Chain A
Amino acid sequence: TPRVLEYDVDGGRDLDIFDINEEAGLNLVEGDIELDEKQAR
């Protein structure tokens, strides 16, 4: 049987949360935590 097209929803990469955020250029605490004003202070 000829192959059909297969589309990788994550581009063929097993990205963890922290990899995704790093690629997005986010500089969050512990990779995925957003601080509010008080915490940031």
Chain B
Amino acid sequence: QPQQRGISSFFGRQ
């Protein structure tokens, strides 16, 4: 089953 990723793992924290 594909796992849900968090959005912050793609976009860097500012």
Is chain B found bound to chain A in the same assembly?
no
User: Interface on B for A, CB 8 Å cutoff?
Assistant: none
